[in-house]
Structure 1
Amino acid sequence: MSRQTAPRNTSLLRSSPCLSPLGVAINRALLGAVLALPVASLVQVQPAWAQSVVAQHDFAIAAGSLESALNSFAATTGVSVSYSPETVRGLQSPGVQGQLSADEALQRLLSGSGLQVTRQASGNYSLLPAPEAGSTLQLDAITITGAGLGEITEDTGSYTTGSTSTATGLPLSIRETPQSVSVITSQRMKDQNLTQLTDVVRQTPGLTLSQSGGNGGDSSGIYSRGFRVENYQIDGLQLLDSNYGSPAQSNDMVLYDRVEVIRGATGLTNGVGTPGATLNMIRKRPTAGFRSSVTVTGGSWDYRRTEADVSGSLTESGNVRGRLVGAYQENNSYVDRLGERKEVFYGVVEADLSADTLLTFGMDSQSDDYDGHARSGLPLFNNDGTRSDHDESDSAAAKWAYSNRSAVSAFAILEHNLTERWKAKLSLNNRRSEYDELSGYAGGNNGEAGADPASIVFYANRWKAKPVQNSFDLNLAGSFDLFGLEHDAIVGYSRQKTDYNTPAYTWWRDPVTGDFPVIDNIYTWNGKVPTKPDLQAYGRIDYEEEQGAAYGSTRLRLSEDLSLILGARFIDWENTIKNEYYDGTPNDGSRRSETGVVTPFAGLVYDLNDIWSVYGSYTSIFKPQSNKTLTGAYIDPLEGFGYEVGSKAAFFDERLNVGVALYQIEQDNLAVSLGDGQLAPDGSQAYRAESGTKTRGFEVEVTGEVAIDWQLSASFSRNIVQDADGNKLNTNIAQNTVKLFTTYVLRSIGNGLTIGGGINWQSEIYSDGVGPARNQRFTQDDYAVVDVMARYPITEQLSATLNLNNLLDEEYYTSSSSSYFGEPRNASLGLRMEF
């Protein structure tokens, strides 16, 4: 079914012959200021049809995807091009350079595509598939249409996307989704060299990385709206391992087209989950036209990274397409003794089994090995209660400590168009992970009477397992007519199961005294003592978690301007843990299950006009918890409700999205940490359950193309978590954050210089109950980190990108629970060659 897209308003963005460069700059600045005002009545965008298709235009459109080329064509000419997204999917364009008319440029852009166009009476274009042999197609010269963004962000140059389904399962635009949505696109990741999931998190509106130790460990948590994020998805399939989900943070971004982030509870698409956020990583797909690239990057602390990407058709007809992606990285760190090695591989094939059936299958492999990896930072206080004095480079890790993680996934997706409006989709995924972590770190104050103020307690333990997860999802999605209006719906069933067994190790203690080892003076410690322990397992733990769910959601158009989104997920969940002891102690374990849990969702969206809408949504919260009390008992499942109201706007054919949201979350059994050093019997952090908690906050976000060649992402988030008596909770997470990053292409400089910069600011954080007597408060004041970048295309194929991070060399702690610093000033330089 063809989708006609509204013409993009370019008349406000392009320079007039009567305006000087200063005038153009002032116009653009004024436009940006107006767009930042969240008042619908102040923003009036009129359609622009003024450009003539016979006029000469200065084209500088590089070879790449046809969709991206058409978008650039529409931006250059001001002429609209309309087409069905399926028509151009996977097609490539040779690009076009020089002074040409719109007709001439369009012909060159479509060269080899097999597509034809017609010009409408208005001067705009319509893009059509080539006619079959023997048929005729009436053409009025040439026609082409500029369309809005689709789901795929690669080659669009955009900081936003045209469609997302992570929140409801329905393919909706950001404006149509009644929840807070942020997308980190392919272009954004390239601009800022965001190669790891934690890099993406630092730049995502509303997300905070609270890092008390090495990357991806259980003391490195991602937070949203005051709660730890535990919901991770890949291509919409949930990663199910609530026992130890932190390794998901090690995902490398070279595999993914984008990361979709839904803030708030997502019980409709996840079932079990916290009300913080869901991070959905969407894999890259093959392209029909041949393309390949190699990127080599070097930077501070011996950072070396190489990426390779090749894609194209595997048959002459183009009905089978493939893609291979690989990356290798080595680096040291600003932290002493810490080093990393990373290997990534991804292969995927798409096959058109028929005109209505698409089969996609592939596999990806990632390994991430750290030497000198610390589970925690150094203590913030000396044993006498005075503040410790550590440098940014000081490490809590022993020289022999390590963390090795890997994951191999095999997946298959079968999609079949049952009719023009309904499609069935089957997704299968097998993920085999492995982690082996030998943790040795100086992390605790020495409570011995008369102990040297600089002495530190040393901890060592080991975690090792090979989790296997099998996932299955079958759904039916489409649209239907009722009462003269078109509505959307999806129904499906999904199942995930994760199981593994792991040796159970005890914390390393002195075999004579039974005490933890002690480092005499942390300020002269070199990480070599104590020597590597030979830890022996005392037993084995068998772990199994399984979740099955039937789900459905629908968007009912109550009128042309009012949509009601309803949905629910019906969940069966089970978690079984069996403990086997080698010394003859009777085996024990636990089994927890929840049957018939319903997580409903309701949302209402009302379009005020063609640009602005208002919305409200409600969803429930249900999350079995792996957090334990001091006695080792599991905390009851987290339960509650989330409410959100707001306003959204989409400008310039949805290339610029604006959102304002207010929310409240009410829940019981919230797991609240008892503080550093308060441990459950198995050595994990101990928690208490807090009921009657409330979280309130609001968020403002502007993301996308403010003007031609100007991309922007700007946000402000405020969040307050309180218990039933109004006392603050989770004070170790910033209440207020501001995140800004923007790029602009200076076409007048050489081949076109892209410059960019941004700032991340957060308010103060603090933790009580720290220090040797557990009676002190540590505060990290508010701080800001400034990043800048520049990219220059040396030739049509070769470009160079320079990134400078923490330009002002701000010194700050990444949490308020240990002495672990953020990265000081650093730089990277990358060269990208496209073939």
Structure 2
Amino acid sequence: MARQTQPPSAEPSSEASTTTIREVGGRLLLSDETVVVAPEPGAVVRDASIATKAESPILETPRSVTVVDRRTLDDLGALNLSQAHDYTVGLTPLDERGLAVARGFPIDFYDLRRDGLRTYAWSVREVAAVDRVQYLRGAASVLYGDGSPGALVNMVLKKPLPVGRREFSGTIGGAGLLRGTADVTGPIAASRRVRYRVIAAVEGLDNGFDNDERRISLLPTLAVDIGTTGSLTVDTEWYRQRGRAYRHLVPATPSAQRGDFSGYPWDLNVNAPEEGWVGSNLSPGVRYDVALGRSASLHAAGRYTRIDGDIEGQGLVGLSADGRTAQRIAYDEDSTWHEYQTDTFAVSTFTTGRLRHRLVTGLEAGLSTADRSIASGPATPLDVTMPSYPPQLAPPSRRSAYDIGRAGLYASDQVGVGGRVTLVPSIRWSRIAVDQRIADGQQASSADTVVSPGLGVVWLGRPWWSVYANASSGFEPPTPGQFDPDGRALAPARHALLEAGIKAEVGRRRLSVTAAGFHIRRTNVAEADGRGAFRQIGQAESRGVEVEALGALTSWLSVRSGYAWTATAITRDATGAEGNHLPNAPRHAAHAWITARLPWGQGRPLTVAGGVVAVSSRFTTRDNLIVAPAYRRLDASAWYRPGDSPVSVGVVAFNLANTRYVTSGAGATFVAAPLRRVSLQCTTTF
């Protein structure tokens, strides 16, 4: 068997453990069984496919790309996707479910992909099954369809391995944290042509701050070799989660706007103890990847997702002038979502004269449906200093449903000109159809065609540095429930990106440094006209600079650091917000995470890491009346694995200084966790 170095972004492993891992379309594939050597800790991630759908050197990609690998997630003791956001330049988390702001614009559930495919999940994403997280900043519509102008986030899942491997971990921590995970993989027969992987996680947060949440997830996967060049993979995700209302909510009073939260009962829950929410998810998927000779390959994937949600409780409206009476609203929702998504594309390499091509052509199609029954009305006010929860009358309900159908044809060509220049022209044709139905008889349908072009160029000055520029466009689907004055569904919003930057690998190519400048304009934004209808006259812009440094400083010291400066403005608005800043978009955001793998006895069994996240103040609403104060948060972890022992023990401290801060909000503010995850984790691998 050949001996080959494992890609730095693949999951950590010991020597002689797995197989060559390559990436196509945001998925990990196994090929050419081999001996794998674990990478140097903190090694530079040099290749990714999120920007091109064909694994390409990041130095030669005309986009801003960041990868958070499994080793970093483990060092962070990550329990959710937002912890990866914290240590990625340009990303500011909004809550623990993975929602964020990037380059001034929100990232919603549809911008959080799994293995490159659109899925929907309105609760916390389970990270135990994630091999790495990829970030593509800026418009991504050319290859991925409608989405945020800020960024696209792709969670690359772990894949079945051809050798046996078992990992079990248990975590116990402050604020009632209990968590257990299991990861079992290997071949089913001696030929290793059929492989399996089963990942499970269970978690409980038994305290008022986290709303007594419970989560359980199960993710089985089966991979089968088809012939000598093909692979079929079938996987399923199932989870069930429950909790007590929406978490981390406090009223936004004048004192809070000045950053003073001293008068708040931080564990206050505005929801009655007997009420809460339950959500479940079932998401089976299938992938087929096959090589077509030496210079082409075909990749087809599909996924179905069903989510059932049931919410009963009260929401926070605001705080009265007395500073202690919270005004509430009763809310009851029963919803079912269905998501169907397919993506089929081919990758081919060829030459025309002196030009080298790597062409990606594909067809993407999907359907999103929702059926919702929502009831809301006034609820009894709550004394936040001495809360009591009287019974509530059920408010009247209103039923609604919508279907969003999508289809897209796309092509992107990486054209090599000489030995140093790469041109990347791209184009996408999209059709998006919306059908909305409301119980009172209102119904509206629309169908729009959108063409999204893009053009990138990279000049490779030396093998270790490059300069790039990119111009691309994208679109976002209309928000269900919004209609124009004639009762018709709205058209998609549009956005355009201009970006340029420089990338380099310094310090014997162990440290990757990227600097990028960008300008984004979003148009055709829906604005309420005060009579219940919407006009698509809004416009917003953001511009900024991002600097990121990732990799190894020495053989035992590595770093993840970044700084983003972002200026945003609402440039056209019918409600008086013109000239204001976009909500939840900080002007300054910085982070640094430093990991030291220290010699202590045999080898380097001791790992010590620490980080800081700093975010400047930002407005939480379009009217710029409520301010979320600036904050700095400290995190730390330490891990010890004696000798060749299969057992490692770690201590993780999230928010080490017990900083009280808010992440986002409007009228009421979502607050971040205090020092609640000083946790002890034990992991066994064999």
TM (norm. structure 1) is 0.73
Q: Does residue 589 of the first structure (1) align with residue 437 of the second (2)? A: no
Q: Does residue 661 of the first structure (1) align with residue 535 of the second (2)? A: no
Choose the corresponding residue for 1:599, options 438, 452, 455.
Answer: 452
Q: Does residue 222 of the first structure (1) align with residue 75 of the second (2)? A: no
| Structure 2: distance between partners of 1:623 and 1:739 | 30
Distance 1:534 1:489, change over 3 A: same
Q: Deviations over 1:717-764 (max 9, x none)?
A: 111112338834225321110011121111245652111111000112
Distance 1:349 1:91, change over 3 A: farther
The answer (yes or no) to whether the contact 1:628–1:680 under 8 Å persists in 2 is no
Choose the corresponding residue for 2:185, options 284, 302, 311.
Answer: 311
The answer (yes or no) to whether the contact 1:392–1:820 under 8 Å persists in 2 is no
Q: Give the match's secondary structure for 1:200.
A: helix
Q: Which position in structure 1 is the counterpart of 2:558?
A: 711
Q: Give the match's secondary structure for 2:65.
A: strand
Q: Does residue 358 of the first structure (1) align with residue 231 of the second (2)? A: yes
Distance 1:823 1:419, change over 3 A: same
Q: Does residue 434 of the first structure (1) align with residue 308 of the second (2)? A: yes
Q: How far off is 1:769 after superposition?
A: 8.6
Q: Give the match's secondary structure for 2:57.
A: coil
The answer (yes or no) to whether the contact 2:286–2:301 under 8 Å persists in 1 is yes
Q: Which amino acid is the alignment partner of residue 589 of structure 1? A: Q
Choose the corresponding residue for 1:825, options 652, 675, 682.
Answer: 675
The answer (yes or no) to whether the contact 1:351–1:360 under 8 Å persists in 2 is yes
Distance 1:439 1:207, change over 3 A: farther
Count of aligned pairs: 660
Q: Deviations over 1:238-286 (max 9, x none)?
A: 23xxxxx6x4452101121111111111111222122111011111111
Q: Give the match's secondary structure for 2:439.
A: strand
Distance 1:89 1:705, change over 3 A: farther
In the TM superposition, 1:466-477 aligns within 5 A as: 466-477=336-347
Higher relative contact order (CA 8 A, sep 6+): 2
| Structure 2: distance between partners of 1:423 and 1:612 | 30
Choose the corresponding residue for 1:202, options 77, 86, 94.
Answer: 86
Q: How far off is 1:486 after superposition?
A: 3.1
Q: Which position in structure 2 is the counterpart of 1:720?
A: 567
Choose the corresponding residue for 1:524, options 364, 386, 398.
Answer: 386
The answer (yes or no) to whether the contact 1:375–1:441 under 8 Å persists in 2 is no
The answer (yes or no) to whether the contact 1:621–1:640 under 8 Å persists in 2 is yes
The answer (yes or no) to whether the contact 1:92–1:288 under 8 Å persists in 2 is no
Greater mean alpha carbon deviation, residues 194-203 or residues 603-612: 194-203
Q: Which position in structure 1 is the counterpart of 2:627?
A: 779
| Structure 1: distance between partners of 2:215 and 2:6 | 44
The structure that is helix-richer by fraction is 1
The answer (yes or no) to whether the contact 2:101–2:584 under 8 Å persists in 1 is no
Q: Deviations over 1:121-162 (max 9, x none)?
A: xxxxxxxxxxxxxxxxxxxxxxxxx8xxxxxxx977547533
Q: Which amino acid is the alignment partner of residue 105 of structure 2? A: F
Distance 1:430 1:452, change over 3 A: same
Q: Give the match's secondary structure for 1:297.
A: strand
Distance 1:501 1:555, change over 3 A: same
Distance 1:791 1:340, change over 3 A: same
Runs (4+) off by over 4 Å: 2-8, 61-64, 66-69, 85-93, 154-160, 385-388, 627-636, 651-655, 671-674, 686-690, 767-770
Q: Which position in structure 2 is the counterpart of 1:489?
A: 359
Q: Which amino acid is the alignment partner of residue 662 of structure 1? A: G
| Structure 1: distance between partners of 2:535 and 2:89 | 29
Q: Give the match's secondary structure for 2:155.
A: strand
| Structure 2: distance between partners of 1:548 and 1:6 | 36
Q: Does residue 237 of the first structure (1) align with residue 117 of the second (2)? A: yes
In the TM superposition, 1:405-804 aligns within 5 A as: 405-446=279-320, 453-503=323-373, 505-508=374-377, 516-519=378-381, 521-526=383-388, 529-535=389-395, 537-538=397-398, 540-581=399-440, 587-595=441-449, 597-626=450-479, 636-651=491-506, 656-670=511-525, 691-724=538-571, 727-749=579-601, 752-767=605-620, 777-794=625-642, 795-804=644-653
Q: Which amino acid is the alignment partner of residue 693 of structure 1? A: A
Q: Which position in structure 2 is the counterpart of 1:65?
A: 17
Q: Which amino acid is the alignment partner of residue 477 of structure 1? A: V
The answer (yes or no) to whether the contact 1:380–1:819 under 8 Å persists in 2 is no
Q: Give the match's secondary structure for 2:385.
A: helix
| Structure 1: distance between partners of 2:435 and 2:460 | 48
The answer (yes or no) to whether the contact 1:226–1:733 under 8 Å persists in 2 is yes
Q: How far off is 1:545 after superposition?
A: 1.0
The answer (yes or no) to whether the contact 1:159–1:187 under 8 Å persists in 2 is no
Q: Which position in structure 2 is the counterpart of 1:287?
A: 161
Q: Deviations over 1:186-223 (max 9, x none)?
A: 11111111121223223322111234xxx54xxx9411
Q: Give the match's secondary structure for 1:727.
A: coil
| Structure 1: distance between partners of 2:147 and 2:284 | 25
Distance 1:561 1:769, change over 3 A: closer
| Structure 2: distance between partners of 1:272 and 1:563 | 26
In the TM superposition, 1:136-155 aligns within 5 A as: none
Q: Which amino acid is the alignment partner of residue 694 of structure 1? A: E
| Structure 2: distance between partners of 1:274 and 1:810 | 30
Q: Deviations over 1:654-674 (max 9, x none)?
A: 653211000011222346899
| Structure 1: distance between partners of 2:29 and 2:272 | 55
Q: Give the match's secondary structure for 1:201.
A: helix
Distance 1:296 1:767, change over 3 A: closer
Q: Give the match's secondary structure for 2:85.
A: helix
Distance 1:461 1:654, change over 3 A: farther
Query: Percent sequence identity over matched residues?
Result: 21
Distance 1:768 1:407, change over 3 A: closer
Distance 1:256 1:160, change over 3 A: farther
Q: How far off is 1:379 after superposition?
A: 3.9
Q: Which position in structure 2 is the counterpart of 1:512?
A: none
Aligned-pair Cα RMSD in Å: 3.4
Q: Deviations over 1:318-349 (max 9, x none)?
A: 1111111111111124617x111111111112
Choose the corresponding residue for 2:68, options 180, 184, 206.
Answer: 184
| Structure 2: distance between partners of 1:571 and 1:365 | 31
Q: How far off is 1:621 after superposition?
A: 2.4
The answer (yes or no) to whether the contact 1:396–1:443 under 8 Å persists in 2 is no
Q: Give the match's secondary structure for 1:608.
A: strand
Q: Deviations over 1:372-392 (max 9, x none)?
A: 434953342599x99883132
Q: How far off is 1:624 after superposition?
A: 2.4
Q: Which amino acid is the alignment partner of residue 803 of structure 1? A: V
| Structure 1: distance between partners of 2:484 and 2:416 | 52
Distance 1:754 1:558, change over 3 A: same
In the TM superposition, 1:103-142 aligns within 5 A as: none
Q: Which position in structure 1 is the counterpart of 2:575?
A: none
| Structure 2: distance between partners of 1:355 and 1:652 | 41
Q: Give the match's secondary structure for 1:268.
A: helix
Based on CA coordinates, which of the two structures has the bigger radius of gyration? 1
Q: Does residue 813 of the first structure (1) align with residue 662 of the second (2)? A: yes
Distance 1:687 1:363, change over 3 A: same
Q: Which amino acid is the alignment partner of residue 673 of structure 2? A: E
Q: Does residue 344 of the first structure (1) align with residue 344 of the second (2)? A: no
Q: How far off is 1:517 after superposition?
A: 3.2
Q: Deviations over 1:567-587 (max 9, x none)?
A: 111100011111234xxxxx2
The answer (yes or no) to whether the contact 2:581–2:619 under 8 Å persists in 1 is no
Distance 1:411 1:440, change over 3 A: same
